[in-house]
Amino acid sequence: MKQIWAPWRIEYVRMKKPEGCILCEKPRQDNDALNYILYRGDKNFVIMNIYPYNPGHLMIAPYRHIANLEELTDEELGEHFGIVSRGIKLLKQVFNPGGFNIGINMGKVAGAGIDEHVHTHIVPRWQGDTNFMPVMSDARVVPEALAETYKKLRGKF
């Protein structure tokens, strides 16, 4: 069995989790730049992952607090995956990645860090975006600050 190491995520794992649901709280606030919210649809929104695997790591979430994809209405679901598609197109234009990982983790045992609020991850990938740093120095290099990524994507949805 192969092991995949992600030591840069330990900060998130060890941190004290805020009360309530971050995917409910952040869109209620009136500061999209501070919260890295890139787009607000009628039923869903786009927020940058502040513990990204790569630059441009986005999350699409419904406003409604719901744990399971199958419980979304047809309208929520249609808008959700329309935004996923638009996010991919935007990331291709801005960052020109070689590919993407797109995923939904439902339930703690499936790896969901926020298991009570379903959301979709879009992670841009490039050839060679993994290197010796995680193995040799227990660190992950994300080569762009969140604020810079936000500036590149803001207003383009």
Residue 9, pLDDT score: 61
Residue 132, pLDDT score: 42
Estimate to the nearest angstrom the gap between the alpha carbon of 9 and the chain centroid.
13
User: Residues 69, 72, 74, 78: what is their CA dihedral angle, to the nearest 10 degrees?
Assistant: -60
Position 1 in a domain: no
Number of domains present in the structure of the chain: 1
> Residues 92-148: pLDDT tens digits?
999 999 999 999 998 888 888 888 999 999 999 998 776 444 443 445 556 678 888
Position 2 in a domain: no
Position 146 in a domain: yes
Position 113 in a domain: yes
Position 95 in a domain: yes
Active-site residue flag, 119: yes
**Residue found by looking up tokens 């513990």 in the block:** 51
Residue 67, pLDDT score: 95
154-to-39, 47, 60, 84, 148 alpha-carbon distances in Å = 8, 11, 15, 16, 10
Position 36 in a domain: yes
Residue 8, pLDDT score: 60
Position 33 in a domain: yes
Q: Which of 57, 117, 119, 121 is catalytic?
A: 119
Position 124 in a domain: yes
Residue 41, pLDDT score: 98
> Residues 18-74: pLDDT tens digits?
678 999 999 999 999 999 999 999 999 999 998 888 899 999 999 999 999 999 999
pLDDT greater than 80 at residue 81: yes
Q: What is the DSSP letter of 16?
A: P
User: Looking at residue 97, which CATH number applies to its domain?
Assistant: 3.30.428.10
The whole-model pTM stands at 0.80
User: Cβ–Cβ contacts within 10 Å for residue 85, how many?
Assistant: 11
- Domain range for 63 is 7-153
